[in-house]
């Protein structure tokens, strides 16, 4: 989970206050962590932005609408017209049928 920018800045200030022989190792480690984070990819519907204070995901309007629609279906506010299956085999049989 990304850390808010003010936290990064405070951390960097703290690191810069350490003796020189510590800071080189720490900055090398930070570079390693940033490279690892860049390799990780979130799923297409996951929030790409996070609240800078809480770190909570910020979704776009289309994703929020989809989440609300599913919540309404689960609450019975709108009819659920989606198929559901009890097992993977049942789903695969349905996919193989000529409907």
Residue-wise pLDDT for 9-37, tens only, equals: 777 777 778 777 777 777 777 777 777 66
Give percent helix, percent strand, percent coil of the chain, each to the nearest 5. Answer: 55, 5, 40
Looking at per-residue confidence, does 71 or 6 come out higher? 71
Q: Residue 26: name the closest of 38, 9, 14 by CA.
A: 14
pTM for this structure? 0.35
Q: Residue 39: which pLDDT band, with cuts at 50, 70 and 90?
A: low
Q: Which of 42, 40, 38 is closest to 59 using CA atoms?
A: 42
The confidence score (pLDDT) of residue 16 equals 78
Return the domain boundaries, the chain: 5-96
Share of the chain above pLDDT 90, in %: 0
Residues 6+ apart with CB under 8 A from 37: 2
């Amino acid at each position: 989970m990304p850390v808010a920018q003010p936290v990064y800045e405070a951390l960097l200030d703290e690191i810069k206050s350490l003796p020189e022989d510590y800071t080189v190792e720490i900055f090398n480690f930070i570079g390693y962590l940033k490279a690892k984070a860049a390799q990780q990819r979130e799923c297409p519907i996951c929030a790409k932005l996070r609240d800078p204070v809480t770190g909570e995901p910020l979704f776009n309007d289309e994703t929020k609408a989809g989440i609300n629609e599913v919540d309404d279906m689960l609450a019975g506010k709108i009819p659920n017209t989606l198929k559901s299956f009890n097992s993977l085999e049942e789903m695969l049989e349905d996919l193989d049928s000529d409907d």
